[in-house]
Amino acid sequence: MESTGFENKKNSKNFVNDHAGLWAILACLFFVTTVIFASLYFSKSSDYKEVVALEEKSTQDNQDLVRQLDSLKAEHARIKLEAGALADSLSEKDSLIMAQIAEIEGLMARQADYNQIKRKLDRVQKISKEYVHQMDSLITIQHELERKNEALNTELTQTKEAKATVEQQNTELTNKMNEAAKLTANNIRACCVRKKSNSKPEVETQKARDAERIKTTLTLAKNTLVPAGTYNIYCRISCPGDGHVLCQGKSDAYSFVNGEQRLQYSVKKSVNYVNQAETVTMYWDISAQDQKKFKEMRGTFIVQVFSDNGLLGESRFTLE
């Protein structure tokens, strides 16, 4: 029994010794296979990561292209809106930009080569910058012209206002000169008188029965602005009651024009005016046949004095 056990152990040992090379080969094959599988695994993993990285970069690149294109379109629309009618002056370049944008959008929709799209986008961005620069220059020039135009309008308005002020002042001065160049009268006084004696040919009376003449006196004022010459002085006497005017006749021969009115006068006198103060006396004689009527005209008489230039003034007297 012991001899059998010993033989078995010897046989096992011999088996191991006989197959040691095989085990070494198998171990080498396992190691090599493991290394190969590991290399393939890590190689595939690296390729996958590279593919993912490339896809992410492509996505980012495409997004960047979209952002650049959107920014370009927004800036182009803004400058056109700001330019308004000025945009028509660069319509040819505007059409070129819009055509290029449409072409780029078509390439992006077809997912064309990134570099091709980028080159076209760079080209249209350059054109767009030139467009924006030119449009900004036109807008600046327009604003400057508008500012100058506004300044000119303000200056023109101020000039017109100044001219209107000067014209008004000249008109007022002319009116004042015209007024100053007219005859004026002072101390206008009217009353009734009657004859008394040679030493005292007339006396003033307030009694209607004694009245023989209506006397009007005035002083033409000194005025060097009035051209010297002959001037007509008109005395117009309005009676109490109905206010009729004492006159020698109703024809135009006994009338004068005052403004746009033709008026009858009672007495007319021509005066040679030499720019000095001068006293003028005018009489209306009450005829014998009018004495009875005149005695009945008790009340207040209004006496107006005119020159060829207008009313000089008036006076009143009352008869009892």
Q: Point out the domain boundary residue: 154, 180, 206.
A: 180
At 184-222, the pLDDT tens digits run 999 999 999 998 777 778 999 999 888 899 999 999 999
Query: Are both 153 and 190 inside the same structural domain?
Result: no
Structure confidence by residue, pLDDT tens digits, 241-260:
888 999 988 899 999 999 88
Contact 216, 189 (CB under 8 A): yes
Residues 154 and 193 in one domain: no
Task: With H, G, I as helix, E, B as strand and everything else as coil, classify residue 180.
Answer: helix
Tell me which of 180, 201, 236 is where a domain ends.
180
| C-alpha to C-alpha distance for 82 and 131, rounded to whole angstroms | 13
Amino acid 272: pLDDT: 96
Model pLDDT for residues 283-311, shown as the tens digit of each residue: 999 887 777 777 777 899 999 999 988 99
The token pair that represents 223 in the structure block: 């005025």
Confirm whether pTM is higher than 0.85: no
192 and 148 together in one domain: no
pLDDT band at 88 (very low <50, low <70, confident <90, very high): confident
Comparison of pLDDT for 110 and 44, the residue scoring more:
110
Indicate the range of 53-67, 116-130, 143-157, 294-308 predicted with least confidence.
Answer: 53-67
Domain's final residue, options 180, 197, 227: 180
Quick one: 189 and 246 in the same domain? yes
* The most confident of 62-71, 81-90, 133-142, 259-268, by mean pLDDT: 259-268
The fraction of the chain above a pLDDT of 70, given in percent, is 83
Q: Are residues 171 and 94 in the same domain?
A: yes
For residue 11, pLDDT over 60 is answered with no
122 and 236 belong to one structural domain:
no
Per-residue tokens: 224: 């060097």
- Domain residue limits at 154: 1-180
Is pLDDT above 70 for 320? yes
Whether the predicted pLDDT of 95 surpasses 80: yes
Q: How far apart are CA 312 and CA 303, in angstroms?
A: 11
Write down the pLDDT at residue 174.
Answer: 76
Residues 83 and 164 in one domain: yes
- Do 16 and 163 lie in one domain? The reply is yes
Q: Are residues 203 and 242 in the same domain?
A: yes
Q: 86 or 279, which is more confident?
A: 279
Together in a domain, 215 and 311: yes
How many structural domains are present in the chain? 2
Instruction: Judge if 233 and 161 occupy the same domain.
Output: no
Give the pairing type, strands 261-264 and 255-258.
antiparallel
Bigger pLDDT: 63 or 30? 63
186-264-296 Cα angle (round to 5): 85
How far is 33 from 30, CA to CA, in rounded Å?
5
Q: Which of 260, 256, 239 is nearest to 306 (CA)?
A: 256
Whether 175 and 293 share a structural domain? no
* CATH label of the domain that carries residue 255: 2.60.40.10
Q: Which two tokens stand for residue 130?
A: 């030139």
What pLDDT sits at residue 177?
A: 74
